[in-house]
Amino acid sequence: MRHFLSLKDFTKTELLEMIDLAQKIKAQTKKRQFVPYMEHQTLGMIFEKSSTRTRVSFETGIYQLGGVGLFLSSNDIQLGRGEPMKDTARVISRMVDMVMIRTFEQSKLEEFADYSKVPVINGLTDSYHPVQIMTDYLTILESGIDKPVVAYVGDGNNITHSWLMLSAILGFELRVATPNNYQCDPKIVQEALQLAKKTNATISFGSDPKEAVKGANVVTTDTWVSMGQEDEKEERIKAFKGYIVDEALMGLAEDNALFLHCLPAYRGYEVSEETFEKHADTIFAEAENRLHAQKGIMVWLDQHRAN
Q: Yes or no: say if 297 and 7 are a contact pair by the CB < 8 Å rule.
A: no
What are the residues whose beta carbons fall under 8 Å from the beta carbon of 24, sequence distance 6 or more?
296
> Is there binding between residue 101 and ligand NVA (CB under 6 A)?
no
Q: Supply the angle between the helices 158-170 and 12-30 in degrees, to the nearest 10.
A: 110
Instruction: Confirm or reject binding of residue 6 to ligand NVA (CB under 6 A).
Output: no
55 flagged as catalytic: no
Indicate whether 226 belongs to the interface with ligand NVA (CB under 6 A).
yes
Q: Determine which residue in the list 42, 103, 132, 223 makes contact with ligand CP, applying CB under 6 A.
A: 132
Which amino acid is it at 161? Answer: H
Among 48, 97, 173, 222, binds ligand NVA (CB under 6 A): 222
Residue closer to ligand NVA, measured from CB, 236 or 292: 236
What backbone phi and psi angles, to 5 degrees, belong to 138? -60, -40
The Cα–Cα gap between 274 and 268 comes to 9
Distance of CA 234 to the CA centre of its chain: 26
Please select the residue that binds ligand CP; options are 27, 36, 52, 304, rule is CB under 6 A: 52
- Only segment of 35-43, 109-117, 155-163, 189-197 that touches ligand NVA (CB under 6 A): 155-163
Task: Examine residue 97 and tell whether it contacts ligand NVA (CB under 6 A).
Answer: no
Among residues 176, 262, 287, 297, the one that binds ligand NVA under rule CB under 6 A: 262
- Rounded CA separation 25/163 (Å): 24
Alpha-carbon gap, residue 266 to 245, rounded angstroms? 11
Strands 149-153 and 218-221, by their bridges, are: parallel
Least distance from C-beta 105 to ligand NVA, angstroms? 13
Q: Does 158 bind ligand NVA (CB under 6 A)?
A: yes
Residues 6 or more apart in contact with residue 69 via CB below 8 angstroms: 42, 43, 45, 58, 59, 60, 61, 62, 63
Partner from ligand CP, ligand NVA, none contacting 48, C-beta within 5 to 8 A by type: none
By CB under 6 A, residue 223 contacts ligand NVA: yes
Of the listed 64, 132, 261, 279, which one is catalytic? Answer: 132
Give the catalytic positions in this structure: 102, 129, 132, 222, 262, 290
The site for ligand CP (CB under 6 A) is made up of 51-54, 124, 132, 262-263
The site for ligand NVA (CB under 6 A) is made up of 124, 129, 157-159, 222-223, 226-227, 262
